[in-house]
């Protein structure tokens, strides 16, 4: 049993220094939804794989596709330094788990091992029958995956290349849906390796503006809502939140809004579990999205046509500013409450467990279940099979007595209204 991790709030810059400010603005100027690859990336993720369920073959293929996509960005972006063609210290690798779908980790190596993580999750889930039913997972979380691919592309395509003081990592986790299994493996292993992780910022469900909001606005003759950056406040450190607001205010065209998930919520919770500061961004207020009757999370209806690409583009702007701003800053990691030092590296072996209220996720699940009529039917059939009422695979001898008449017959296993005759 590992000891709990001492509290270790990250140190964030108080402002963006003029040098990085200029660099970030140069990178952000050309960005529009049309200059990014959001449309093609989300289309591919949501239509080329029937589901990205973490135990499925197509879930594995989706991870391999993300890996190859990042690899192609790296090889397309060699920069000329001193006549030699080198890539900008960027690399990508698979992180394998005990199930078929790997996580994917891309890296931009800087001058120190202090690492800033931007993250999302590849897997999707159809809650009703995950092995069989489609799960496009456009908002959850193809939106986050596509945004991170774009952020990575913009950062490593910078010309001249950015000289990073710190290391950036882009995480694309497997198996968020069953309870953050992929990210648990990743951060458990980072903890054992005494990795200096400055902070982890997860982008999950960042593409949706609730439709009735728009309708209200249309009725009021006000311009369509541009959406908001939802800052999930559960377990979030104050300094972390302040820096999120600073970056959003300076580099995006939309507002931030405080929101609460009520439970561990997403993969950043795995970072917190192993002693690393974690935060979560989402589109707007989760309270508005998940409690609504038009919530399509974890169903076949979480499709690309419900996403707002200009909203995701704002998250891309945010992510570029976040990564570059922290990547070139003088940030230090506190001694993490006097954690042990081994091989000259700071760190410790520790495990906080998941925060209280982890099972609050059930609330989200029941909202999703109600959205899919086919799913409800299949659930009822499954329940009937489990209770032994229906056995479609069995031929059941039946006897029906109506007054003095006796009818004997065989029926394929729906035993609700018939009595079974035990063999003599």
Q: How far is the CB of 124 from Zn ion (least distance, A)?
A: 8
Closest among 142, 140, 283, 145 to 209, alpha carbons compared: 283
Q: Which of 204, 234, 308, 314 binds Zn ion (CB under 5 A)?
A: 204
Tell me: does residue 267 bind Zn ion (CB under 5 A).
no
H-helix or E-strand spanning residue 171: strand 167-173
- Counting residues that bind Zn ion (by CB under 5 A) gives 3
Tell me: does residue 302 bind Zn ion (CB under 5 A).
no
- Find the part of the chain contacting Zn ion (CB under 5 A) among 24-32, 135-143, 157-165, 333-341: 135-143
Q: How far is the CB of 182 from Zn ion (least distance, A)?
A: 12
Tell me: does residue 295 bind Zn ion (CB under 5 A).
no
Q: Which is nearer to Zn ion, 8 or 58 (CB)?
A: 58
C-alpha to C-alpha distance for 306 and 185, rounded to whole angstroms: 32
Tell me: does residue 141 bind Zn ion (CB under 5 A).
yes
Q: Which is nearer to Zn ion, 50 or 52 (CB)?
A: 52
Q: How far is the CB of 121 from Zn ion (least distance, A)?
A: 6
Q: Which is nearer to Zn ion, 74 or 304 (CB)?
A: 304
Tell me: does residue 41 bind Zn ion (CB under 5 A).
no
For residue 143, the Cα-to-chain-centroid distance in whole angstroms is 9
CA dihedral 146, 147, 148, 153 (to 10 degrees): 90
Q: How far is the CB of 346 from Zn ion (least distance, A)?
A: 31
Q: Which is nearer to Zn ion, 140 or 185 (CB)?
A: 140
For residue 36, the Cα-to-chain-centroid distance in whole angstroms is 20
Q: How far is the CB of 263 from Zn ion (least distance, A)?
A: 13
Q: How far is the CB of 190 from Zn ion (least distance, A)?
A: 21
C-alpha to C-alpha distance for 316 and 322, rounded to whole angstroms: 10
Tell me: does residue 288 bind Zn ion (CB under 5 A).
no
- Find the part of the chain contacting Zn ion (CB under 5 A) among 100-108, 141-149, 194-202, 400-408: 141-149
Q: Using CA of residue 340, residue 343, residue 345, residue 347, what is the dihedral sign?
A: negative
Q: Which of 63, 70, 107, 140 binds Zn ion (CB under 5 A)?
A: 140
Q: Which is nearer to Zn ion, 16 or 270 (CB)?
A: 270
Say if residues 257 and 285 touch (Cβ distance below 8 Å): yes
The CA radius of gyration of the chain, in Å to the nearest whole number, is: 25
HEC per residue, 354-382: CCCCHHHHHHHHHHHHCCCHHHHHHHHHH
Q: Which is nearer to Zn ion, 140 or 288 (CB)?
A: 140
Tokens 């939106």 — which residue? 143
Tell me: does residue 123 bind Zn ion (CB under 5 A).
no
Q: Which is nearer to Zn ion, 204 or 237 (CB)?
A: 204
Which pair of structure tokens corresponds to residue 263?
Answer: 């439970």
Q: How far is the CB of 373 from Zn ion (least distance, A)?
A: 23
C-alpha to C-alpha distance for 318 and 230, rounded to whole angstroms: 12
Say if residues 281 and 230 touch (Cβ distance below 8 Å): yes
Tell me: does residue 237 bind Zn ion (CB under 5 A).
no
Say if residues 12 and 243 touch (Cβ distance below 8 Å): yes
Where do contacts with Zn ion occur on this chain (CB under 5 A)? Answer: 140-141, 204
């Amino acid at each position: 049993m590992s000891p709990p991790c001492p509290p270790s709030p990250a140190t964030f810059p108080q402002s963006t220094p003029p040098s990085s400010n200029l660099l970030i603005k140069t990178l952000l100027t050309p960005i529009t939804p049309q200059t990014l690859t959001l449309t093609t990336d989300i289309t591919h993720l949501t239509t080329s794989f029937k589901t990205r369920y973490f135990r499925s073959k197509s879930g594995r293929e989706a991870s391999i596709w993300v890996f190859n996509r990042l690899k192609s960005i790296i090889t397309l972006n060699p920069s000329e330094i001193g006549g030699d063609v080198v890539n900008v210290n960027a690399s990508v690798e698979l992180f394998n788990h005990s199930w078929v779908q790997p996580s994917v980790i891309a890296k931009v190596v800087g001058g120190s091992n202090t690492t800033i993580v931007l993250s999302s999750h590849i897997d999707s889930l159809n809650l009703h029958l995950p092995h069989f039913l489609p799960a496009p997972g456009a908002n959850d979380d193809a939106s986050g995956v596509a945004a991170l691919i774009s952020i990575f592309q913009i950062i490593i395509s910078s010309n001249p290349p950015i000289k990073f003081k710190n290391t950036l990592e882009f995480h694309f986790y497997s198996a968020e849906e069953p309870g953050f299994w992929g990210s648990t493996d990743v951060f458990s292993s980072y903890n054992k390796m005494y990795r200096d992780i400055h902070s982890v910022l997860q982008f999950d469900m960042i593409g949706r503006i609730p439709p009735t909001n728009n309708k209200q606005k249309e009725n009021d003759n006000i311009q369509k809502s541009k959406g908001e950056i939802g800052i999930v406040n559960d377990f979030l450190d104050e300094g972390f939140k302040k820096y999120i607001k600073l970056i959003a205010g300076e580099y995006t065209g939309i507002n931030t809004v405080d929101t609460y998930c009520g439970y561990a919520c997403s993969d950043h919770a795995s970072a917190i579990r192993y002693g690393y500061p974690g935060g979560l961004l989402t589109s707007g207020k989760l309270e508005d999205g998940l409690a609504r009757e038009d919530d399509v999370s974890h169903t076949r209806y979480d499709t690309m046509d419900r996403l707002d690409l200009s909203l995701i583009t704002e998250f891309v702007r945010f992510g570029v500013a976040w990564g570059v701003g922290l990547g070139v800053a003088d940030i230090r990691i506190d001694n993490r409450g006097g954690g042990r030092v081994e091989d000259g590296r700071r760190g410790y072996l520790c495990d906080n467990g998941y925060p209280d209220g982890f099972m609050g996720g059930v609330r989200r699940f029941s909202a999703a279940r109600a959205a899919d009529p086919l799913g409800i039917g299949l659930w009822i059939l499954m329940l009937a099979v489990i209770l032994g009422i229906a056995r479609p695979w069995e031929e059941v001898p039946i006897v029906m007595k109506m007054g003095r008449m006796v009818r004997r017959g065989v029926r394929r296993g729906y035993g609700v209204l018939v009595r079974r005759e035990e063999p003599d």
